[in-house]
Amino acid sequence: MAETENTVLIGASIRQARRDGGLSLRELARRLEVSPATLSAVETGKTRVSVDRLASIGGVLGVRFDALLPAAVVRPAEQQTWGRERSDPIQHFRPEEWRRFGPSSFDSVLAAALAEMVKTGYHGAAMREIAKRAQMSVPGLYHHYASKQQMLTEILDRTMAELNTRSLAAIDEGESPAERLAFLVECVTLFHIYRRDQGFIGASEMRSLTVENRVRIAESRNYQQWLMTKQVDDGVAGGVFETDRPRQAARAIVVMCVSVAQWYRPSGRQTPEEIAQDYSRFALDLVRCRRI
């Protein structure tokens, strides 16, 4: 779908959310500190809305900005860089491969930075300690990455690239709305278990990114939420899911999957696969699935 068509759909979604919230166009424009003409251009798809502006609108309306993206917006066919050019190739996953997790593809510096940030937080992670973990000198560290901010951004970029490509493979394997949702939930849950350190940093250190980097990573995270929302919306449209609150259900499912990174321990009673299967069943119950 062309970008202009996406802009129209997003504008229509904003208009519907505004009306659902009982606000006039003029009142929402006032609260956003923009002109009514500017907001009208956004709602009619004549002006593209930025991620920052979308977040502001969501804040005023009391909804997460990802909920303002309609599931009718088709995923970009070549959205393999998730918002930027990457120097390393994105891994693609064949059927069933999205369930298999080997070691992370992080180089020694990123692996060291991740470990140190998990231990002390972004602001507490010292470059000398990262260098020590990577078994190199501090000047050698700077040869690979110019700053700690670049390390954090690269960690989150690569994390989202892997999660999104695995998620697309999981969805593609499903043959029905219920299977596609179940497989996506299984995928996201497994990812946050096997890549739990990356998931933990993603949940705790978005605040440490610069504005520019935060907007880019937010786009990738928003895309992941959109994938879940689309599966739920498709199931409702097909009469398979009977929930009357699909957006809320989709957000709840994502929170459930992501939070596993906060509590999972390898010494626990269940295997990652058992947990992921449970979460898939929980998700189908949440959307009131009629059949698989």
- The angle, 0 to 180 degrees and rounded to 10, between the axes of the packed helices 196-204 and 177-194 is 90
The CA distance from 55 to 171, in Å, is 27
Question: How far is residue 90's CA from residue 139's CA, in Å, rounded to a whole number?
Answer: 29
Q: Is the pLDDT assigned to residue 107 strictly greater than 90?
A: yes
Please say if the pLDDT value at position 206 is more than 60. Answer: yes
Average pLDDT estimate for 208-232: 86
Backbone angles phi, psi at 289, to 5 degrees: -70, 130
Mean pLDDT of the chain: 85
Residue 195 and residue 185: Cα distance in Å, rounded? 15
CA distance 289 to 286: 8
Average pLDDT in the 238-267 region? 93
Q: Which two tokens stand for residue 37?
A: 């003409």
Mean pLDDT of 89-107: 78
Q: Is 22 exposed, middle or buried (0-12, 13-18, 19+ CB in 10 A)?
A: exposed
Q: What percent of the chain has pLDDT over 90?
A: 56
Walk me through the domains of the chain, giving residue ranges and CATH numbers: 3-68 (1.10.260.40), 157-292 (1.10.357.10)
pLDDT at 288: 96
pLDDT grade for 89, boundaries at 50, 70 and 90 = very low
Quick check: helix, strand or coil at residue 1?
coil
Residue 47, classed as helix, strand or coil, is: coil
CA-CA-CA-CA torsion for 199, 204, 205, 207, nearest 10 degrees?
140
pLDDT in tens, 53-75: 777 888 888 876 656 765 544 34
Please, which pLDDT band fits residue 5 given cuts at 50, 70 and 90? low
Kindly provide the residue ranges of all beta strands, DSSP E only, lying in the chain, ordered along the sequence.
none
Residue 177's pLDDT is 94
Cα distances (angstroms) measured from residue 212 to each of 50, 53, 79, 217: 12, 14, 19, 9
